[in-house]
A and B are shown apart, each in its own frame.
Chain A
Amino acid sequence: MKYHYEVSGDDFTRAGEASGAVKATLKRLGFPPEVIRRVAIAMYEGEINMVIHADGGDINVDVEPDLITMVLSDRGPGIPDIDKAMQEGFSTAPETVRNLGFGAGMGLPNIKKYTDSLDIATELGKGTTITMTVRVA
């Protein structure tokens, strides 16, 4: 089953709506709680990143009984150094965002931690597409 969400770029309080909707759907479908938790957290981190860095974007989720695939695309500034971005605590979030409790440099590391695969395609000035999967054991 395929789901599409648009993430608006200007509202922190609404980040999490897409991951919340996916979480609710997976619960009704009876996926194991552990799988749902990993999907929800990885997707939430991705949503927050889109709001902080890219003025929002699109999320496509494909739910299969044994695999959940999430593709998050934005037209933001791109990631100059992916290796650095993957380090825990490394953040380019502005002060204003950090003051809100976001941008602690745990977004991508958390996504990596909770997913079974993570692929980042990024082009400076064009945008970033993150493809991540969670396998149902």
Chain B
Amino acid sequence: MERILHSVTLDRDKCVGCTHCVKRCPTQAIRVRDGKAVITDARCIDCGECIRVCPHHAKKARHDTLAALENYRYTIALPAPALYGQFHNLDDIDVVLSGLIKLGFDQVFEVSRGAEIVSDATRKLMADGLLKKPVISSACPAVVRLIQIRFPDLCDHVLPMKAPMEVAAALARQRAMAQTGYAPDEIGIFFISPCPAKVTDVRFPIGDSHSHVNGVLSIADIYPKLVHEMNHLEEVEHLSNSGLIGTSWSFIGGEAAGLLNENHLAADGIQNVIRVLEELEDEKLADLDFIELSACAGGCVGGVFTAENGYVARARITRLRKYLPVSCNRAEDFGDLRALNWSQTLKENPALHLAGNISDAMRMMQQVDDVCAKLPQLDCGACGAPTCRALAEDIVRGFAKESDCFRLREGCNNDR
């Protein structure tokens, strides 16, 4: 089977070969070749920028569908808290959760419960001085992958803890097994996701070798069916068991607020995240205790799998959470605190290195500099690479040729 490293796919019929996605990709993973966008797997961090920016809707992300529920004897829905912000006039989270049961799940387990466990555990670890400050949140998988590729020196600042989704999934399976007596593989756990990065995260988890989640459903995909079920509920079951801290993880600043430590920074939007990481790398933010970063503007509510404008969703969640208790879950609910930690150390991803060793890389860099000097420095993107420098690199690597540059093709001398 094809080993798919990222969740983003291309509808070749819709792609017109423009360079919107090429220009916006934070890891320069995309090129237009033969008139169509091509993604370099190793560089893609699943941030979703290309999906968001494509004017022709040619970029999509893989996700599972409700049909996958049939593969399991018992199914559990794991709704991300961002889901609660998708509905008009919603006053009660239990309506959403009851709707998920009507949709075919045997049980729901809110990811916000996992979030409260992670918040509590982070508070404890930070109070004990066990983490390198500033601690960087590991909640956004796109940000963590960005750090591995572009800011490897910061890997040891990343909170080495399972994401709320994984914590919720592990607990949900454990409890369902005890309740039903079913084997682990008879239980299917489905994350209801605002975000395609989670699709990749489940296949290739960060920090662990195995995910407890069996499938990832897109909020936007199940939205119409879920709304229908919510509108036709005969009774609303009391299912929700999380508070203000857990539901607030759905928007930027929510996780940081849950630490009850004012000395934090929260930044959203991939370009803003990059600016913060650059300053952090230069030790300009050393006084902070915690840094929350989200690839999407607004946080998870801004994910590309959502149905509603992220800012509207945030406003709704803010209203919804007003009557919730502060928190309903504690780190001890997971059992041993150490079990929350990643089993693997976060390591650099060398996807942007020019070569496998420094000497070869320097030889290539010299060639890249030489080729780049011939290019017009317009960064126009017409060649299909995001910048002249990126084209020069592609030429040296043998993926492109000088005539791909229209200025060189036309024989124009540049004035530099």
Interface, chain A (partner B; CB < 8 A):
1, 16, 19-20, 23, 25, 27-31, 33-34, 36-37, 40-41, 44, 63, 65, 136
Chain A at the B interface: SS class:
helix
Q: Considering only CB atoms, which chain A residue lies closest to B149 in the complex?
A: A27
Whether B358 sits at the interface, judged by CB under 8 Å, is: yes
CA distance A41 to B286 in the complex (A): 13
Are A1 and B365 neighbours in the complex by a CB distance under 8 Å? yes
One digit per residue, 1 when the CB lies within 8 angstroms of any chain A CB and 0 when it does not, for chain B 177-202 equals 00000000000000000000000000
Are B282 and A29 neighbours in the complex by a CB distance under 8 Å? no
Whether B132 sits at the interface, judged by CB under 8 Å, is: no
Set of chain B residues within 8 Å of A65, measured between Cβ atoms:
358-359, 362
| Max chain A C-beta neighbours (<10 A), residue from B278, B282, B352, B354 | B282
CA distance A23 to B152 in the complex (A): 12
- The contact of A63 among B281, B356, B362, by CB within 8 Å, is B362
Enumerate 8 A-B pairs (CB-CB under 8 Å) in ascending A order: A1-B362, A1-B369, A28-B361, A28-B365, A30-B354, A30-B358, A37-B153, A37-B281
Set of chain B residues within 8 Å of A44, measured between Cβ atoms:
282
Query: What's the least CB distance linking A7 to chain B, in Å?
Result: 16
- Size class of B's contact patch? 20 to 34
Set of chain A residues within 8 Å of B278, measured between Cβ atoms:
20
CA distance A34 to B155 in the complex (A): 12
Whether B283 sits at the interface, judged by CB under 8 Å, is: yes
Are B359 and A27 neighbours in the complex by a CB distance under 8 Å? no
Q: Considering only CB atoms, which chain A residue lies closest to B353 in the complex?
A: A30
Whether B55 sits at the interface, judged by CB under 8 Å, is: no
Contact residues of B between 321 and 360, Cβ < 8 Å to A: 348, 350, 352-359
CA distance A70 to B358 in the complex (A): 18
Query: What's the least CB distance linking A112 to chain B, in Å?
Result: 15
Whether B366 sits at the interface, judged by CB under 8 Å, is: yes
Query: What's the least CB distance linking B65 to chain A, in Å?
Result: 40
Are A30 and B152 neighbours in the complex by a CB distance under 8 Å? no
Query: What's the least CB distance linking A60 to chain B, in Å?
Result: 16
Are B354 and A40 neighbours in the complex by a CB distance under 8 Å? no
- The contact of A27 among B352, B357, B362, by CB within 8 Å, is B352
Query: What's the least CB distance linking B126 to chain A, in Å?
Result: 23
Are A34 and B354 neighbours in the complex by a CB distance under 8 Å? no
Whether B150 sits at the interface, judged by CB under 8 Å, is: yes
| Max chain B C-beta neighbours (<10 A), residue from A33, A40, A63 | A33
- The contact of B350 among A1, A19, A30, A40, by CB within 8 Å, is A30
Set of chain B residues within 8 Å of A136, measured between Cβ atoms:
358
Contact residues of B between 352 and 407, Cβ < 8 Å to A: 352-359, 361-362, 365-366, 369
Are B153 and A29 neighbours in the complex by a CB distance under 8 Å? no
Are A29 and B281 neighbours in the complex by a CB distance under 8 Å? no
Set of chain B residues within 8 Å of A34, measured between Cβ atoms:
153
Query: What's the least CB distance linking A118 to chain B, in Å?
Result: 18
Q: Considering only CB atoms, which chain B residue lies closest to A36 in the complex?
A: B153
Query: What's the least CB distance linking A110 to chain B, in Å?
Result: 9
Query: What's the least CB distance linking A91 to chain B, in Å?
Result: 18
CA distance A29 to B283 in the complex (A): 22
Report if A28-B152 is in contact (Cβ < 8 Å); known contacts: A1-B365, A20-B278, A40-B281: no
Query: What's the least CB distance linking B31 to chain A, in Å?
Result: 17
Are A29 and B365 neighbours in the complex by a CB distance under 8 Å? yes
CA distance A1 to B358 in the complex (A): 12
